Amino acid sequence: MNEHDSEIMAGMLIEEGFQQVESRKEADIVIINTCSIRDNADKRFFGTLGQLKRRKKENPEFTVCVCGCMMQQQHVIDTIKAKYPWVDVIFGTHNIHRLPELLANIVAEKGKQLDVWPEGGEIVEGLPCERLHKSKALVNIMFGCNNFCTYCIVPYTRGRERSRRPDDILGEVKNLVADGVKEIMLLGQNVNSYKGIKTDSADEICDFADLIYMLNEVEGLERIRFMTSHPKDLSDKLIQAFVDCDKLCKNIHLPVQSGSSRILKAMNRRYDKEKYLELVKNLKAAVPGITMSTDIIVGFPGETEEDFEETLDLVRQVRYDSAFTFLYSIRKGTPAEKYENQVPEEIKHERFNRLVDLVNSISAEKNAAYAGRTEKVLVEGPSKTNSKTYSGRTDGFKLVNFPGNESMVGCMVDVRITEGKTFSLEGEVL
Ligand code: SAH
Ligand code: SF4
């Protein structure tokens, strides 16, 4: 979501005549888009800000803007105002569309710190976007979250759920396809609770599965993905959409957070281990070969060794293709911040390492089974480390590296997989 916000800000500034530069050193204006999901993201932000102070001192014309989730929190704004008064502009996630206006105001109000952050939340349509990839695009379908998982800051920084109109989404996707996009990723904190109101009929509600069926009809579009779906709201209708919609990739990111029903309750996730495993069973039965990934938090307050064993057991049963694993991080203002039974750091780390070892060994086994198969890959570009190696994703979201060239970028190619590694596959274009 932050990545897409950055694409939109870049799009707006390019429209205003600004140019993107390769490195921060060359820039006259720096915009830092922050994330506040865990403490290490917060720390990195303040570290980066500290580095910019000297440049601002040397050149007062140099402009520093800060935005994103961190700027939706009063304590962060207070810290910036007190310790970093030289920051020119502060704005929150709800005010991205006002960036060009804010930059224009800096010229008018020299030396004054400008900020807009708490109000807003309305959906602004038609903003430009400078995509990171030619052939794939991120598409917001809804904003905010109503779930209030007890560890999570998102409902406080992104506000309540609001869905875009299906007609607006369809219009955007058609424009993207006309611009060369083959794959879209539908974005929302809980896409399953998408509820779009059609422009021509206010009583007709379009739910998430309806939206997929609608987008599946877009000519020229080849792949549809989404992120993230909450297990408590994953409907049979959505599972059926995987069966019926040929463009919907056979892959799902379904965050579980913990395998212990007791911890899930304390997290306010509103499903238990059994319900989650039943969902996985239904998905695997309806969509043979579906690949699955998840998010897991280790060391939520009160997590015992037994609770953690339940998580390991769930991972063994589901056999995820990959998983994002996180150490629980206390977030100011969330209910879990006040829980007294915080897990000591060394225990968290020890459990985290055991979990990562298990997840990686399953990923490696699953990927090894791809050797000899042929997969359709949407080519994204050269790899960061070797300019002759190109990479792309399979329908199941596996990263594939192969010898390639620039003419392949944006194309769907057949790749024969030669080796499956822990985090990626190796192959040759047929
Ligand atoms: N809306 C998505 C998650 C968005 S946040 C969902 O509910 O699935 C992405 C992930 O960050 C979460 O799934 C969770 O695993 C992790 N996360 C969120 N808050 C966290 C915290 N306080 N400490 C550690 N991990 C956290
Ligand atoms: Fe955070 Fe839970 Fe909302 Fe996801 S569903 S964004 S984890 S509160």
Q: pLDDT tens across 183-235, in order?
A: 999 999 999 999 999 877 767 889 999 999 999 999 999 999 999 999 999 99
The pLDDT of residue 118: 67
Closest to 136 in 3D by CA, of 358, 357, 392: 392
Residues paired with residue 401 on neighbouring β-strands, in sequence order: 391, 426
**Tokens read off for 87:** 């920051």
Measured from the Cα of 269, ligand 2's closest atom is 2
Output the pLDDT for position 120. 63
What is the C-alpha to C-alpha distance for residues 320 and 398, in angstroms, rounded to an integer? 12
Q: Tell how far the Cα of 373 is from the centroid of ligand 2, in angstroms.
A: 37
Instruction: State the Cα angle at 418 between 373 and 385, rounded to 5°.
Output: 125
| Pocket lining: 128 vs ligand 2, CB cutoff 6 Å | no
Per-residue CA distances from 401 to 134, 210, 398, 408, 411 (Å):
18, 35, 10, 13, 15
Whether 151 lines ligand 1, by a CB cut-off of 6 Å, is yes
CB 93 near ligand 2, within 6 Å: no
CA of 413 to the centre of ligand 2 (A): 36
Nearest CA to ligand 1 atom 24: 328
Q: Are 258 and 218 in contact (CB under 8 A)?
A: no
- Beta carbons of 41 and 34 less than 8 angstroms apart: yes
Residues in the chain, pLDDT under 70: 111, 118-120, 202
Which pLDDT does position 204 carry in this prediction? 81
283-297 confidence digits (pLDDT tens): 999 999 999 999 999
- DSSP category for residue 377: E
Q: How far is the CA of 35 from the centre of ligand 2 (A)?
A: 14
Q: Tell me the ligand closest to 257's alpha carbon.
A: 1
How many alpha carbons fall within 13 Å on the CB side of residue 135?
17
> What pLDDT digit, counting tens, does each position of 310-346 carry?
999 999 999 999 999 999 999 999 999 999 999 999 9
